[in-house]
Chain A
Amino acid sequence: DGGITQSPKYLFRKEGQNVTLSCEQNLNHDAMYWYRQDPGQGLRLIYYSQIVNDFQKGDIAEGYSVSREKKESFPLTVTSAQKNPTAFYLCASSGSGNSYEQYFGPGTRLTVT
């Protein structure tokens, strides 16, 4: 089956620890994205990558880092510098071009205590 996988679905960490969220896609999409969603709110863009070995900051990149070493993978690291890391994290991918829709993964719910 083609799609986007995120793991794990639920993740618990202690404050002060870095944590890496996985995102893999087998859709052969060039572009990948990370969003954050807080309860009752819309999605906010953290980072995006239009091509391998290149990525750009989104609206709320502070306290996060990413890498794009392979086309199919776009891991997100939530660092200890992120003040409020507890949230629902969503990964998406899309084809090249400006009219392609984004396909989303199932999300990872991160809780930091």
Chain B
Amino acid sequence: DAKTTQPPSMDCAEGRAANLPCNHSTISGNEYVYWYRQIHSQGPQYIIHGLKNNETNEMASLIITEDRKSSTLILPHATLRDTAVYYCIVRGYNAGNMLTFGGGTRLMVKP
């Protein structure tokens, strides 16, 4: 699976959009981009995933660049409860549903 690079930490003001970047320059054609988040001392929570088109659900939007070498997770109106570690994961279609978690981005939403 392709490796990902994320900033170790970010701050965001409450009510503003949080844009979390992820680089995956070695991604191959059949690899999906997944985003999970982990609130302190809890299990990770699935947020969204995509292959090449932009995706949106009730939690977030995922923007994948045309060359697929990077993506951005957007939380449109961040709240204090969105404070968490956000993991960007690239997983191959035939990887048996394995997920490889890196260090993630620690997002701090401030009032």
Partners in one complex: yes
A interface residue numbers (CB < 8 A to B)? 4, 31, 35, 41-45, 48, 50, 88, 90, 92, 94, 97-107, 109
Chain B interface category by residue count: 20 to 34
Give CA–CA (A109, B41) in the complex, Å. 9
B interface residue numbers (CB < 8 A to A)? 32, 34, 41-46, 49, 87, 93-104
How many A-B residue contacts, CB cutoff 8 Å? 53
**Is the Cβ of B41 less than 8 Å from the Cβ of A102?**
no
B48 to chain A minimum Cβ distance, whole angstroms, is: 9
Closest residue of chain A to B47 (Cβ to Cβ) is: A101
Best-surrounded residue of B43, B93, B94 (most CB of chain A within 10 A): B43
**Is the Cβ of A105 less than 8 Å from the Cβ of B43?**
yes
**Is the Cβ of A102 less than 8 Å from the Cβ of B99?**
yes
**Is the Cβ of A42 less than 8 Å from the Cβ of B96?**
no
**Is the Cβ of A102 less than 8 Å from the Cβ of B46?**
yes
B50 to chain A minimum Cβ distance, whole angstroms, is: 10
A110 to chain B minimum Cβ distance, whole angstroms, is: 13
Give CA–CA (A98, B104) in the complex, Å. 23
Q: When A105-B43, A106-B43 are in contact, do A45 and B102 touch as well, CB less than 8 Å?
A: no
Give CA–CA (A41, B101) in the complex, Å. 9
- Checking A48, A100, A104 against B98 with a beta-carbon cut-off of 8 angstroms, the contacting residue is A48
Give CA–CA (A90, B96) in the complex, Å. 19
Give CA–CA (A104, B45) in the complex, Å. 7
Give CA–CA (A31, B96) in the complex, Å. 10
Q: Which residues of B contact A107 (CB under 8 A)?
A: 41-43
B65 to chain A minimum Cβ distance, whole angstroms, is: 21
A111 to chain B minimum Cβ distance, whole angstroms, is: 14
Closest residue of chain B to A91 (Cβ to Cβ) is: B43
**Is the Cβ of A43 less than 8 Å from the Cβ of B34?**
no
Q: Which residues of A contact B34 (CB under 8 A)?
A: 101
**Is the Cβ of A106 less than 8 Å from the Cβ of B97?**
no
- Checking A31, A44, A45, A104 against B43 with a beta-carbon cut-off of 8 angstroms, the contacting residue is A104
